[in-house]
Structure 1
Amino acid sequence: MTWPCVAAGAALVLFVLRDVFHTIWHPTRHGGLSRRVMRGVWRLSAHHRERWRPVGLAGPVGMMVVVTVWAFLVAVGWGLVYWPSMPEDFSYAPGLTPAEHAGPVDALYVSLVTLATLGLGDIAPTSEWLRVLAPLEALVGFALLSATVAWVLGIYPALARRRALALRLSHLGRNRLTTETLDSAGGAALLDGLASALSTVTVDFLQYAESYYFYDGEENICLAGRLGHAVGLADRAGRARHPDARLSASVLRTALDDLATVLDERFLRTGGPPDEVFAAYATDHGRSWDGEGGGP
């Protein structure tokens, strides 16, 4: 039982570390465990005909659940490594009977204390290999804490960029820009700025895929309901006579296509054209889609 238990524990720890790596540090991948947890929390929060208040908590709660699952599974994995060696390879504080504190719960306790770097010392490893292994678990615990902080610090700027783009599109939509308005060098510059912002948001969805599961709340800052404005601008500018406006419209349309590709491959799986993907994106975030302006 000793080596199978140790091997299972080591495999569990490596599985979690791989998921942490792909979720936080790998720029084009998304951890399988974190993805399933975030998607599950999102689906539970949105399982209503009308959007309800808790849906705004889906993203933050999902991240908390992911971090909790990571920490718990790492603790369980290291506990499985410790358990076969208890009580022979551990020293116990006075008042503790080794034979009574050598079960799986005690191994999990030792693992949690080590992972949290508390160092209580009431149960401590004495064999050479465990004395080396325990500090390594403490280092993993510290790395997990640092990774969580880095994750949070990366997600919220990405959300701010997405919401700023949605607000800008809302402003443009309210001004009802026509083909004649866009038929100029100024119109081309405006479209170039939108294409650049869309490219940034596309990269954010690649690097911080969990940001998809954050509900944006107010209509004007919800990109899912504002993308129709960008589609409409690209269509109108494509009919302009000014060559710069037509070129910028083409670039904007390409940026929209790239965004649709990422949304579909990562989250929606519709397999349809960009307009169908954007409609599914709007629906998934509680918005309606009319292809020109979005929103209800």
Structure 2
Amino acid sequence: MTWFATPLGAVLVLFILRDVFHTLWHPTRHGGLSRLVMVSLWWLSARLGTRRRPAGLAGPLGMVTVVAAWALTVAVGWGLIYWPHMPEDFSYAAGLVPSEHAGPLDALYISLVTLATLGLGDIAPTSGWLRVLAPMEALVGFVLLSATVAWLLGIYPALARRRALALRLSHVRRSRATAEALDSDGGAALLDGLTSALSTITVDFLQYAESYYFHDGDENTSLPGQLGYAVGLADQATAARHPDVRLSASVLRRALEDLATVLDERFLRTGGGPDRVFAAYADDHGQPQAPGRPPEGGGSGPS
């Protein structure tokens, strides 16, 4: 059966490289493994009791699990490639009996040492094609390390932008800005700023889909809990007398619809409009939605 090991190992390595490519460098679609791990952990966290506490670990734990699965599967795949060619195509250090170090665990050991670029050299390939293949595994190991760092450096700023937008919406809601106050140049500028931030968040969900599975915790920094207020704000401003406010409200409404489309197509699949999608988004993250409309008139003040 060892003849089957080499093609099976090659398939495993290619599967992981494809998954890394689709997860990090072609993020318009989920990588198969990364999506499966993230969705499974998110589903499990929702069934462990109080959602707020366990769900907070789903995103970070999912990333760790995905990276570990990538590294382990690549190591196993390359080990399966090496195994049928041991011990004939390998040289052994003095004191090692080749026939006693030619099993699958020894092949996995060689693979792990090579993937981690340790270069211990106690067992090394001697045939031509294996001497070319081993450095390629070391190169893949370096790519996996670099990809992991790039993934971390991309996802956490995306989370910060999402939470900053939620906090900004919370500030507007808690300031009790009235419809009359919004019907002004300042109101138009406020709506434009929210539209710009929403567009960035929409792109973040396309670029870093795994960020969906991170729980924000505090209701004031949780975007799922604030989007209902953003919808109400856009609806209220649509009836403003100021033409710039009406235009800004219309653009804000389009930005909210685009975000709802991305959330629904990639994660929720409700098939409904923005209100239904945002309600499902809030429910999926265990957050109540904020009230949807600002007060009709009067002054502003703290809640």
TM range (shorter): over 0.9
Q: What's the counterpart of residue 153 of structure 1? A: 153
**Secondary structure of 1:215's aligned partner:** coil
Q: What's the counterpart of residue 88 of structure 2? A: 88
Once the two structures are TM-superposed, the CA of residue 27 in structure 1 deviates from its matched residue by 4.1
Tell me the number of residue pairs that the alignment of Structure 1 and Structure 2 aligns.
Answer: 293
Comparing 181-190 with 233-242, greater Cα deviation is found at 181-190
Tell me how far apart the structure 1 counterparts of residues 186 and 43 of structure 2 sit (CA, whole Å): 43
Task: Within 5 Å, give how 1:113-132 maps onto structure 2.
Answer: 113-132=113-132
Once the two structures are TM-superposed, the CA of residue 185 in structure 1 deviates from its matched residue by 1.8
Q: What's the counterpart of residue 56 of structure 1? A: 56
Tell me how far apart the structure 1 counterparts of residues 219 and 289 of structure 2 sit (CA, whole Å): 13
Conserved 8 A contact 2:163-2:222? yes
Q: What's the counterpart of residue 208 of structure 2? A: 208
Conserved 8 A contact 2:38-2:62? yes
Once the two structures are TM-superposed, the CA of residue 291 in structure 1 deviates from its matched residue by 6.1
**Secondary structure of 2:193's aligned partner:** helix
Once the two structures are TM-superposed, the CA of residue 5 in structure 1 deviates from its matched residue by 2.2
Comparing 280-289 with 171-180, greater Cα deviation is found at 171-180
Once the two structures are TM-superposed, the CA of residue 12 in structure 1 deviates from its matched residue by 1.0
Comparing 6-15 with 258-267, greater Cα deviation is found at 6-15
Q: Deviations over 1:94-146 (max 9, x none)?
A: 22221121111111111111000011111111111101100000000001000
The answer for unaligned runs of 5 or more in structure 1 is: none
Matched, 1:186 2:186: yes
Tell me how far apart the structure 1 counterparts of residues 99 and 272 of structure 2 sit (CA, whole Å): 63
**Secondary structure of 2:57's aligned partner:** helix
Q: What's the counterpart of residue 22 of structure 1? A: 22
Task: Within 5 Å, give how 1:11-50 maps onto structure 2.
Answer: 11-50=11-50
Conserved 8 A contact 2:22-2:31? yes
Conserved 8 A contact 2:229-2:290? no
The list of structure 1 runs, each at least 4 consecutive aligned residues, that deviate by more than 3 angstroms after superposition, is 1-4
Q: Deviations over 1:185-235 (max 9, x none)?
A: 211111011011000000000000111111101111000101112111101
Q: What's the counterpart of residue 272 of structure 1? A: 272
Tell me how far apart the structure 1 counterparts of residues 254 and 185 of structure 2 sit (CA, whole Å): 19
Q: Percent identity?
A: 76
Q: What's the counterpart of residue 134 of structure 1? A: 134
- Aligned residue type for 1:31: G
- Aligned residue type for 1:153: L
Conserved 8 A contact 1:178-1:236? no
Q: What's the counterpart of residue 258 of structure 2? A: 258
Q: What's the counterpart of residue 69 of structure 1? A: 69
Over the residues paired in the alignment, what is the CA RMSD in angstroms? 1.4
Conserved 8 A contact 2:224-2:278? yes
Q: What's the counterpart of residue 5 of structure 1? A: 5
Conserved 8 A contact 1:231-1:291? no
**Secondary structure of 2:56's aligned partner:** helix
Tell me how far apart the structure 1 counterparts of residues 291 and 75 of structure 2 sit (CA, whole Å): 49
Tell me how far apart the structure 2 counterparts of residues 84 and 27 of structure 1 sit (CA, whole Å): 36
**Secondary structure of 1:292's aligned partner:** coil
Tell me how far apart the structure 2 counterparts of residues 133 and 61 of structure 1 sit (CA, whole Å): 32
Q: Deviations over 1:154-205 (max 9, x none)?
A: 0110000000000000001112223222111211111011011000000000
Once the two structures are TM-superposed, the CA of residue 268 in structure 1 deviates from its matched residue by 0.8
- Aligned residue type for 2:288: S
Tell me how far apart the structure 1 counterparts of residues 49 and 65 of structure 2 sit (CA, whole Å): 25
- Aligned residue type for 1:10: A
Tell me how far apart the structure 2 counterparts of residues 291 and 95 of structure 1 sit (CA, whole Å): 74
Tell me how far apart the structure 2 counterparts of residues 173 and 214 of structure 1 sit (CA, whole Å): 24
Conserved 8 A contact 1:172-1:229? no
Conserved 8 A contact 1:275-1:291? no
Tell me how far apart the structure 1 counterparts of residues 270 and 33 of structure 2 sit (CA, whole Å): 22
The answer for unaligned runs of 5 or more in structure 2 is: 294-303
- Aligned residue type for 2:36: R
Conserved 8 A contact 2:226-2:290? no
